[in-house]
Amino acid sequence: MKQLRSVFSGASVASKNLQWYGSSRCFSNKSTKSSSIDISGVYPPIPTPFTSNGQIDYVKLQENFHTWNASDFAGYVVMGSNGEAVSLKEDEKLDLVRNVKKMSKPTSTIIAGLGLPTTEQTIEICNRVAEEKTANAALIVSPSFYKGQMNELVLRKFYEDVADNSKLPIIVYSVPANTNLDLSSSLVTALAQHPNIIGLKDSGGDIAKISEIVYNVPKDFQVLAGSAGFMLPALLMGCVGGICALANVLGDQVCLLYRLFKDNDLKKAVALQQSLISPNYMVTRRFGVPGLKAAMDLKQGLYGGVCRAPLLSLNDVDEKVLVQTFAKCGYPLVR
């Protein structure tokens, strides 16, 4: 039988003899990767706040970071799906990641969502960010508009070409709820061999697929759960952390869940995980970014605000459902 993957010794991964890349942590043991960044831990995929006239609101963002930096996050994901990346222009993106770098803690790992519809554009923006040293890794969503042509060969070449040419290490991003493409276990396994592809964010949540990927990839390829809804089972099966929309709102609880797992206090971890699923659903599948921003507006120290149209703010009926769901699970939202 294949050698046992050290599922519970993941903590040691970020231990001694660190060779720093930017401010990120890295692996101590022999790596197959060209840059050995440790991306374990919990990351909120931060939403982008906007002023009433539609500009990025850096004052509010600073306030949010004041709150977030008090949590035990490993770092931040900027311009993920929850950051409304598709609604930002290139200059806004570069500016946003610069500000996130400044506002976050020096030890925070910054993962920037930099996937664009073409291979060339993706490489170009990765290298601009790499030059500015404002992020430690690039999260690359699969191109999806021409989904009928996005077979395994095309997607493999896309990711490998990006990885070959990007000065930032690459994290593959599978988010079928947005792209209608669920990157297969065999595709991810193939990509995991590339020295500059260091990990996967899987938001699909098929725990069998995630487990199969962990089983098949090199030991230093790091898989992150893409949601707080299944983070604990994903950690159990060998994921090293999570990028969780819910962490924007319930940062301490998601960090606690991670900590309980690392401390092998599974009984408490299971109870905590169970209580987070319905709230998580409200700020992801059910109400999306508007739901996330509404929940933030109902938490002291956090600002959500409006989304860029066509996304609308949550209406009163939906907000009530969201508030009741959080309350029922033990997380009252009150300003």
Annotation: binding site for pyruvate:
243
Among 214, 283, 295, 322, binds a copy of itself (CB under 8 A): 214
Strand-pairing partners, residue 260, are none
Provide the pairing of β-strand 109-113 with 137-141.
parallel
Residue number, 64 or 227, with CB nearest to a copy of itself: 227
Among 29, 66, 72, 330, binds a copy of itself (CB under 8 A): 330
Q: Per residue in 121-152, is it b (16+ CB within 10 Å) or e — as a string?
A: ebbbbbbbbbeeebbbbbbbbbbbeeeeebee
161: contact with a copy of itself by CB under 8 A: yes
Q: How far apart are CA 322 and CA 331, in angstroms?
A: 11
Residue number, 26 or 283, with CB nearest to a copy of itself: 283
Active-site residue identified among 21, 76, 159, 173 = 173
Among 65, 280, 292, 297, binds a copy of itself (CB under 8 A): 280
Owner of token pair 């909120």: 44
* Candidate segments 67-75, 130-138, 191-199, 231-239, binder of a copy of itself by CB under 8 A: 231-239
277: contact with a copy of itself by CB under 8 A: yes
Per rule CB under 8 A, count of chain residues that contact a copy of itself: 73
221 DSSP 8-state letter: -
Residues 6 or more apart whose Cβ sits within 8 Å of residue 205: 225, 226, 227, 229, 230
Among 19, 29, 51, 149, binds a copy of itself (CB under 8 A): 149
229: contact with a copy of itself by CB under 8 A: yes
**How far apart, in Å, are the Cα atoms of 306 and each of 54, 55, 95, 146, 177?**
9, 11, 20, 30, 22
Scanning residues 116 to 145, which ones bind a copy of itself (CB under 8 A)?
117-121, 143, 145
Residue 102 appears among annotated catalytic residues: no
